[in-house]
Amino acid sequence: MNLRKLLSCAALASLLLLASACGIYSFSGTSIQSDVKTVTINYMEYKALKVNPNLSNDLTEGLKEKFRKMTRLTQVDLDGDLEISGEITGYDVRAQAVTAAELAAQNRLTVSVKISYMNRKYPEDDFEKSFSAFADYDSNLSLDAVEGTLCEEIIEKLCEDILNATVANW
């Protein structure tokens, strides 16, 4: 009985090793061809009308961190096999839920970005695409009071969406 368990475990381990060694699928959910080794993530320019002085840097660093954690790619400053660049095109606050007295009960902060993705090894995967993410907050609070927390939440969502669109083929 122990020999049967040992053989089953060995077969499973071999299968897992084979699946991860082929370089096309990883257990983080990414789908990167084995000959793609590097990524360049350029600074996200700020082009929105309403100003948030930290958002470009925070989004750029968040995206770099997401790629460090979730892929095997080496980050390089220039000419990576993959290159991601973009700009923040929108930073807007709007009333989301209105009370019977026609007052805003909740506001929504929405950040929009336009991303250009270039795959130097597989140019058929290149795209230019817009992404947006939002977070709601109570209208009794000022944007200044909650902006940092909201932006962290929004950046996390945007980075996840960009990662999925570029290397997870979702």
pLDDT digits (tens, 9 = 90+) for 77-114: 999 999 999 999 999 999 887 766 667 689 999 999 99
Closest-CA residue to 46 (of 87, 83, 95, 94): 87
pLDDT digits (tens, 9 = 90+) for 108-160: 999 999 999 999 999 999 999 999 999 999 988 999 999 999 999 999 999 99
Domain 35-167: CATH architecture, name and number where available: 2-Layer Sandwich (3.30)
Residue 31 tokens, joined: 């789908």
Where are the chain's structural domains? 1-30, 35-167
